[in-house]
Structure 1
């Protein structure tokens, strides 16, 4: 296996993705599984493919990724950001189109922490008058 051109990290919610791009045919491997096996729905695959479609490089690079933490949606968003950052590392001229598409901006939304006296972040126990 050839050495990666670039290795970058992407994050979303509690997920962290590390993507390594190599010149190739467009194969994507995630945690040792194929792309279709790891992300079964078309919506998740579209989220991950988005930076490659914007850069018109769907079949130019092989991607080897490792993802941990969070759920499927957060993992797809984290991998999308990692791929976008890698593409910018390889070709700096892709920064403007990827930035305009919103692919280089970290999504700051996270789960709100639980408060004492409440059941969750905002859900209060049922009020009893008597």
Structure 2
């Protein structure tokens, strides 16, 4: 009986980060072509059961992401220090006085089981009127989900599955100069 090398037998499920295709399943022999693909994606060690190396987040790192819902465009900057939640310079409670709109904004935190009070959030949003509809809160929620996914890679997939669109560059046609958004 031919011995199989231990390092070619998958120990974990591994998904392609772009297409969400299942690349390996536990107990499955990994063919050489798939080994090369996993190595290119940086997932080979995960597939064979070696713990991935977690790079520390540099101090002062403030992930920034964008969100869009129809005409509302939001930019969120996140910091992992206990602080406050500001939207266009106003506290969240003042900017969105209703629980429903605040709930929409805080939905990414709920999906991940995080406490929003453990973060400092600065958000700027333009377009659409804040008094009408859910466009501004949804745009902020999409941007917040993107910023959270930059803090921890394991949060990316649950946020995408929850329906958040992660966008890290400004939407087409948005000028980022001046004081409209962050410098």
The two structures share one fold, judged by TM-score above 0.5: yes
Is 1:66 the equivalent of 2:112? no
The number of residue pairs the alignment matches comes to 105
Please, what TM-score do these two structures have when normalized by structure 2?
0.53
Match of 1:101 in 2: 162
Match of 2:112 in 1: 55
Match of 1:124 in 2: none
Distance apart, 1:105 and its partner CA: 6.8
Per-residue displacement from partner, 1:44-92 (whole Å, max 9, x unpaired)? 0000000011122223211011111113321100000000001111111
Contact 2:105-2:140 at 8 Å conserved across structures = yes
Match of 1:33 in 2: 90
* Structure with the bigger percentage of strand: 1
CA-based RMSD of the aligned residues comes to 1.9
1: CA distance, partners of 2:159 / 2:83: 19
Please, what TM-score do these two structures have when normalized by structure 1?
0.74
Structure 1: gaps (5+ residues): 107-130
The structure 1 segments of at least 4 consecutive aligned residues displaced by more than 3 Å after TM superposition are none
Per-residue displacement from partner, 1:94-116 (whole Å, max 9, x unpaired)? 1121122112379xxxxxxxxxx
2: CA distance, partners of 1:86 / 1:105: 8
Structure of higher RCO (CA pairs closer than 8 Å, 6+ residues apart) = 1
